[in-house]
Structure 1
Amino acid sequence: MLSFRRYASTSRSLPSEMYTNPLHSGEPAVSTTPTSITAAQRNALDAALRIDQAGEIAANWIYHGQHFVLGRDPHTGPLIQEMWDQEKKHLLVMDKLQLQHRIRPTILTEVAKVAGFGLGAVTALMGKEAAMACTEAVETVIGEHYDDQLREMESLPHDHPSVPLLKDVVREFRDDELEHLDTAVENYSQRAPAHALLSSVIGAGCKVAIELCKRV
């Protein structure tokens, strides 16, 4: 029987480094997927990673759109770039997870790119505060979504080394997204014109997108 070296996270390194550091590329935790799981568990894993990959694509294009408009701003530009750089890493890892677990990507990838860029650019054109309000709304939904996923992942078999690693990666990315939310609030997102309406519309759109990507 194939034996696996169990993945163990440490306080000295981020879980995502298992995917970004080539030294780990051959380890079972980053190169194999559970096979002894039920159809329901496989469907849950497929849906979770399909949504996460699509979400990171959209997030990258939101920040792309914001940076396209506000990138030259001496204060807001570097903030957007820093958050965008984190999202680039998230997408790199999600792309590797999609291949590792043999997940079918959503057919809405191109829609996510166009919609993300449009949302980022339009809110940035409304002003710095509106761009931050967009970030606040999106990251609120994504943070809650990652929390829901972590609860759902309790049903996956933890005797396979990829599962505890996946959960640790999701926790890491959730914390990054919540840090982006805090950055947005600290940079006056709640001063945006019609903040409550803007947040509600963007948040509702994100939730619809999550449900669509789960299915297609």
Structure 2
Amino acid sequence: MTSPRLVWQPMRHCKSSSSILAQQTQQPTRFLSSTASASQAAASSNPPNTNNNTNTSQPNPNPHPNPAAPKPKKPLTPAQQAFLSSALRVNQAGELAATLIYTAQTPPVVAREPHLRPLMRHMYEQEAGHLSTFNALIAKHRVRPTALYPVWSALATGLGWTTGALGREAAMACTEAVETEIGGHYNAQIRRLLEMVGEWEAEGYEVGGELRELIGTLRRIRDEELEHLDHAVEHDAKKAEPYWLLTGVIRAGCRGAIWVSERV
């Protein structure tokens, strides 16, 4: 089947060359391919014996299955397809927001404290790499991006500029709050995927390489996000005033954005 035409493009600042689809198809995502069971494959490869002289009561000379035979692959259920689609959609939106926050924060922060330029560049470049990864995945698996891209772009830019203008402590408090929520969000996704893998392996199914690769990608990105959290704490995030109000509002906003982006 020919894939739908790509009619949606990421924002111009996204460095991915992959086009993004405007709508999700009804085809299963391609983390696993639907295959016949091992017994069906064996039946199709061995036609029935038409010799009437064959003694059908003769015992099977090889009653045990071949342990070296490939395991069947289990197709995704509709609920699993929906989970993977929402995960990629919200991850892409979150990484877009992160790049915009750092883009807006960096000029006012670096103007006051030039020694932070390498750190701000390092965190931005990692976020840009995360965004490129999810741009590619969302196009490959034909997942519809969030319809609220323009809204999240405006809010992320405003948040970055405001906290950057308030100073280093506020900017770092923003990073701490965002990465706390994002780190927990990635952990939840990883746990869900590992549960799926465990269930399939217990049932005797093969787990596709793409799914294992996705789990590895999420773990790597989560660790880099938590590294940003550590950097923020080291650079006086908790000295922001008022710390509890600033971080509380930002964390609540992140949770709301995640919930909406998973669905819209």
> 1:107, 1:69 → 2: CA distance?
30
Instruction: Give the structure 1 partner of residue 176 of structure 2.
Output: 136
> 1:68, 1:215 → 2: CA distance?
34
Q: When the two structures are superposed, what TM-score results if normalisation uses the length of structure 2?
A: 0.68
Q: When the two structures are superposed, what TM-score results if normalisation uses the length of structure 1?
A: 0.82
* Alpha-carbon displacement from aligned partner over 1:108-150 (angstroms, at most 9, x marks no partner): 1111111111101100111110000000000000000000011
Instruction: Give the structure 1 partner of residue 98 of structure 2.
Output: 59
Code of the residue aligned with 1:80 in structure 2: it is: M
Query: After TM superposition, what 4+ stretches of structure 1 lie above 6 angstroms from structure 2?
Result: none
Is the Cα–Cα contact under 8 Å of residues 61 and 116 in structure 1 kept in the other structure? yes
Instruction: Give the structure 1 partner of residue 32 of structure 2.
Output: 34
Secondary structure (helix, strand or coil) at the match of 2:114 reads: coil
Aligned pair partner of 1:91 in 114, 123, 131: 131
* Alpha-carbon displacement from aligned partner over 1:30-56 (angstroms, at most 9, x marks no partner): xx5324211011000001110100000
**Per chain length, whose mean CA-contact separation is higher, i.e. which structure has more relative contact order (CA < 8 Å, sep 6+)?**
1
Secondary structure (helix, strand or coil) at the match of 2:208 reads: coil
| Cα drift, residue 184 of structure 1 | 0.2
Aligned pair partner of 1:45 in 84, 102, 106: 84
Q: Between Structure 1 and Structure 2, whose CA radius of gyration is higher?
A: 2
Give the share of equivalent positions with the same residue, in percent: 44
Tell me the matched-pair count.
186
Code of the residue aligned with 1:204 in structure 2: it is: A
In structure 2, runs of 5+ residues without a counterpart are: 1-15, 17-29, 34-74, 201-205
> 2:219, 2:150 → 1: CA distance?
27
> 1:138, 1:54 → 2: CA distance?
13
Instruction: Give the structure 2 partner of residue 26 of structure 1.
Output: none
Code of the residue aligned with 1:34 in structure 2: it is: L
Is the Cα–Cα contact under 8 Å of residues 33 and 100 in structure 1 kept in the other structure? no
Code of the residue aligned with 1:171 in structure 2: it is: R
Output aligned runs, 1:66-215, within 5 Å. 66-72=105-111, 73-154=113-194, 155=196, 159-215=207-263
Is the Cα–Cα contact under 8 Å of residues 62 and 117 in structure 1 kept in the other structure? yes
> 2:115, 2:243 → 1: CA distance?
21
Secondary structure (helix, strand or coil) at the match of 1:193 reads: coil
